[in-house]
Amino acid sequence: MTNLTQVAVVGAGNMGGGMLARLLGLGWSVAVRDIDPRVQSQAVALGAVACGSAMEAARMLAPDGVLMVVVVDAAQTEAVLWGEGGAGPVLKPGQSVMLCPTLGPATVQSQAERLAPMGIDFIDAPMSGGPVRAQEGTMSLMVACSDAVWQRSQKLLTALSQQVFRVGTRAGDGARTKLVNNLLAAVNLAGAAEAMALAERLGLDPAATLSVIEASSGQSWIGSDRMRRALAGDFEPRAHVTLLAKDTGLAVQAADDVAFDPPLGRLARDLFAQALGRGWADLDDAALLKLMRQR
């Protein structure tokens, strides 16, 4: 096959689209597959090569190419690799699969174990930071892979981000690190929303109060990012409520698996579940302020 690409991205939405744009801007050749025609067209307009399925995207890969899976959850990951038109059956020894979603560690381990007998290298690499930082190359990548794969992947990893953290060699350690991070992000966001709702109830100017917090001990990145736009009434989704609802559930399950009880994590999980119950799944997770205002 001619015109092979070094990278294929399956899932070009918020984060995948940012990563894809980053690579294209640096001169990489990228194949793309997304089930949303509008998203795929946007990627093609940036210079990506369109594919009709994950399998077709995998067939576009060079012998040492990397299939980047940037979807939402375990079910979508399974479909990309092993469903109808999935990439798994046509991947070749020497190629790599890079899993970027927030998944449970057991899911990541099972995918790595399924690919290993085929000679497919595996990179456990969840990401954090949002689509703007993905496109800027300033998002965080939490990478777990073998020493050999780490060395071979340096060009791609450093192209994707200036914030690449190698967290282990065991498949699933990237997922474990991401769940710990996202659990704290959820707790911080819940706390920021609670504080802003309290400020309003006390008769304070919430925007002025947030400015004080941002220069003081209560500051958190996610609190500032989400509450600024929530206070402006902007709940257009950058990160849907469903994502942290999913991630907090996965994090609490991971804690249960090692007999650790995270009381704040459970509270955050339950708050996001309440937001889902109010029909806010498709809103930005800044909608947690709306929940706190109703208390």
122 membership: H or E segment, kind and range: strand 121-124
Give the count of beta carbons closer than 10 Å to the beta carbon of residue 281. Answer: 15
Residues 144 and 293: beta-carbon distance below 8 Å: no
Choosing from 92, 155, 178, 290, the catalytic residue is 178
CA–CA separation, 281 and 11 (whole Å): 20
Structure-token match 């690579």, residue found = 23
How many helices (H) and strands (E) the chain has is answered by: 14, 9
Active site residue 178: yes
Residue type, 45: A
Is the separation of the CB atoms in 144 and 166 below 8 Å?
yes
Handedness of CA 34, 39, 41, 47 (dihedral sign): negative
Active site residues: 178
